[in-house]
Structure 1
Amino acid sequence: MSTSQLEKFQDEVEIPEGVTITQKKHMLTFVGPLGKTHQSFRKIPVNLEITDSKVLLTTIDQRKKDYAILHAARSLIRNICEGLITGYTIKMKVVFAHFPITVKVEGKDVIIENFQGERAPRKTVIVGNTKVIPKGEDVILTGEVWTDITQTAANIELKTKVKNKDHRVFLDGIYAFEKKKGIDK
């Protein structure tokens, strides 16, 4: 392969000011103004090397699949760095027609009560360091790690999925309606 072809199997991520990254084998630890988090790269076949202000990524092999994995790892690091500086917010709307749905947070669980008149509450887990704040008809999810926030939102949405009924008629549930950078209160 020529050197120009080999260069596309290498990439680098600029570390923003205020964020420090340390490496211990396959584990990267990120520390920023909004907090501290870590990400394991054990199952991601990419070589990582941290210099003073950059993270150098190189693939293990030179296949098309490795090129895609390289860019997935790059965006993962970039999103964590960006989240530690600005944070992320997802707003969800509680929608119901007849039975009023109540959302509560207890520890690391989100409890959804009275969904379609059910007596037993539905529970789902909060992923990572995500903060869930129920405010009337809205549920606000905030945090530093985008993958944790979106997974928590997906868990809540899936727990309120209507089964064995026409989803065009039975619109009850909790749905995400706004995703943005920055932390809302």
Structure 2
Amino acid sequence: MSTEQVEKFEDVVEIPEGVTITQKKHMLQFQGPLGKTHKSFRNIPVDIEIKDNKVQLKAIGRRKRDYSILHTSRSIIRNICEGLIEGYTIKMKVVFAHFPITVKVEGKTVLIENFQGERAPRTTKIVGNTKVVPKGEDIILTGEVWTDITQTAANIELHTKVKDKDHRVFLDGIYVYEKKKGIEK
């Protein structure tokens, strides 16, 4: 294997100012101005080393799959660092035709009441430190970790999926309409 191919399986991520990363075996702990979080790399086959305000990543294998896993882990680290500095916001819209849907937050669960006239509320979990704020017909999700916010939004969207009806006619549900960097108040 040539030296170019060997260099291809190594990558470096610059740690931005204001963010500190500590490593304990396969666990990385991130701390920034907006809070702190952690990410386990136990099941991701990448060697991680922190030196001189940089995170050095090395793929364990030499196949195309290992190359893509290396870049996925790089993106995960970058997104967490970016989120701890700026944060992320997702806006969702509550859409209904006949039965007015109401959304409430109780602890770490979201209650979706009166969906298609159902008596029992549908419940979904809030993942991580995501903050969910219902404002009229909008739901605003904010937080530091992109994967937690998007998973929470996906859970809400999937729990309001219309079943056994024509989805072109019955458009009731809660849908994502905006994703952006920065935390909205």
> What CA distance in whole angstroms lies between the structure 1 residues aligned with 2:172 and 2:62?
48
| Paired positions, count | 185
Q: CA deviation at 1:40?
A: 0.2
Aligned pairs (5 A) from 1:53-132: 53-132=53-132
**Percent identity among equivalent residues?**
82
> What CA distance in whole angstroms lies between the structure 2 residues aligned with 1:52 and 1:147?
27
| Structure 1 length-normalised TM | 1.00
Please give the root-mean-square deviation of Cα atoms over the aligned residues, in Å: 0.3
> What CA distance in whole angstroms lies between the structure 1 residues aligned with 2:144 and 2:52?
23
Please name the residue that 1:35 is paired with: 35
One-letter identity of the residue aligned with 2:107 = G
Unaligned ranges ≥5, structure 1: none
Please name the residue that 1:141 is paired with: 141
Please name the residue that 1:156 is paired with: 156
> What CA distance in whole angstroms lies between the structure 1 residues aligned with 2:130 and 2:52?
29
> What CA distance in whole angstroms lies between the structure 2 residues aligned with 1:173 and 1:67?
39
> What CA distance in whole angstroms lies between the structure 1 residues aligned with 2:158 and 2:170?
15
Q: Secondary structure at the residue paired with 1:69?
A: helix
Unaligned ranges ≥5, structure 2: none
Q: CA deviation at 1:104?
A: 0.3
Provide Cα deviations, 1:120-165, integer angstroms capped at 9, x if missing partner. Answer: 0000000000000000000000000000000000000000000011
| Structure 2 length-normalised TM | 1.00
One-letter identity of the residue aligned with 2:88 = Y
Provide Cα deviations, 1:84-103, integer angstroms capped at 9, x if missing partner. Answer: 00000000000000000000
